[in-house]
Amino acid sequence: MVKCDIFKLYSTKIKNTKMMQNSTTSLIISDCLSRTGRISIAVAVSVLITIGTIIPGVSADSYDEQIQALQNQNAAARSNVTALQSQANSYQDAISRLQTQIDAVTAQIAANQVEQANLQQEIAKMQAEIDVQKKLLGEGIKAMYVDGQISTIEMLATSNNLSDFVDKEEYRNAVQKNIQDSLTRIAKLQNELKQKKVQVDQLIESQKAQEAQLAADRTQQADMLAYTESQKAQFNNQIASNSSRISDLRRQQIIANSRYNIGAPGTGVNCGGGYPAKWCEIPQDSTIDSWGMYNRECVSYTAFKVHQDFLAGRNSRDMPYWGNIPADAKYWDDNAINQGIPVDSNPTPGSIAVSNSGNWGHVMYVEQVGTINGQQAIYISQYNANFDGRYSEGWRYTTGLVFIHF
């Protein structure tokens, strides 16, 4: 329940101000009545103070324009980060595949080098056998040379018998054949081993070239990945910087939006004004209320208040469901006019105050109407005035507001 002693507190605050040391303050409060659970007050306030007129502050729209521009930059930066992340994933995948190929080629080179070593051992064995065959060949040639100095008649004459002659002839023929076989075998082995060694050497060289190319490709991909990560970091730094700037602009906007406040309303408890616990005891914007509004937003709270007044018979109209049309606060007066709901500049208790300033605007529930400093003022209850999803209430001037009468 809002109490009338807010004027007393306000008067006390003015008296304690240095600017009021030589001023006279008088507040006349009348007809503070309670009607059907909602406060209705007619207040005549006369304040004689020498503080001059209220000077309008910087338009909140200028902050919203800057915030929107920064949010657009962040949206573009996040889009770039997403694209760069996809590209980085592609590079990383390519690097992984290249590394797999390098590992396979390296394994092949190692296997071929083992085969190359085995061939070298085979060549050494064959060379040893060739040396043996050369020795045998030399002995055979020597024997044939010695025997070759003896004519057939002499060989026959020196033979003990015909059988001995035949044996000598067969031996000489056998030696000739062995010599020829050894030469043929040696030539064949040497040719086979040389060809195989050339093939293995060529394969190793080819695989080393392939390995070098894959390594170069991997290095290039790694460089591109590093560049991509650097770009991502730059965009993320820009997003962080913009987000910090947005927070600062929101703070400035809150100050600008509150320039018509009397006192400092704007922040308070999570739950207040009778707003249901099912919506105020959970994180902001985590659910949708009965009228298509996000919870703990100004629009959700005021929609609830309009509905409560209708149930209590204080309104002729219930809160419409505006979830299918633009339901931001700045569109409420337009939506109301389109549905034949009265909108004007005259506040009444139970009406909805609408500020069209900024990207989203702001709506407040009017609890009381009065006059302060000779200017029209309203005592309002609201949610999310400071972008924190919290409940607050207090006095403010009606400058820049329109009022919906449900």
Q: How confident is the model at residue 50 (pLDDT cuts 50, 70, 90)?
A: very low
Q: What are phi and psi of 379, to 5 degrees?
A: -100, 120
What mean pLDDT do residues 286-310 have?
94
Q: What is the dihedral of CA 192, 194, 198, 200, to 10 degrees?
A: 60
The model's pTM:
0.49
What is the CB-side half-sphere exposure of residue 311 using CA atoms within 13 A? 7
CB burial readout 338-356, b (16+ within 10 A) else e:
eeebebeeebebbbbbbbb
Identify the residue with better confidence: 125 or 212: 212
Contacts of 61 (CB under 8 A, 6+ apart): 357, 358
Domains, the chain, ordered by start: 6-52+263-404 (3.90.1720.10), 73-247 (1.10.287.950)
pLDDT at 333 over 80: yes
What mean pLDDT do residues 279-287 have?
94
What mean pLDDT do residues 209-227 have?
83
Q: Choose among 69, 60, 70, 72: nearest CA to 361.
A: 60
What mean pLDDT do residues 290-306 have?
94
| Two structure tokens written together for 399 | 């400058």
> Measured between alpha carbons, how far is 314 from 38 in angstroms, rounded to an integer?
9
pLDDT (tens digit per residue) in 71-104: 788 888 888 888 888 887 887 888 888 788 888 8
Kindly state the helix (H) or strand (E) to which residue 217 belongs, with its residue range.
helix 162-257
Identify the residue with better confidence: 306 or 5: 306
Residue 54 vs residues 39, 200, 358, 394, 397: alpha-carbon distances, Å: 28, 95, 21, 18, 10
> According to the model, what pLDDT value does residue 228 have?
86
pLDDT at 157 over 50: yes
User: Helix (H, G, I), strand (E, B), or coil: what is residue 265?
Assistant: coil
Q: Choose among 269, 287, 266: nearest CA to 278.
A: 287
> According to the model, what pLDDT value does residue 115 have?
77
pLDDT at 169 over 80: no
Task: Name which of 64-78, 174-188, 325-339, 350-364 the model is least confident about.
Answer: 174-188
86 by Cβ neighbours in 10 Å (0-12 / 13-18 / 19+) ranks as: exposed
Contacts of 377 (CB under 8 A, 6+ apart): 262, 369, 370, 371, 395, 396, 397, 398
> Measured between alpha carbons, how far is 303 from 324 in angstroms, rounded to an integer?
15
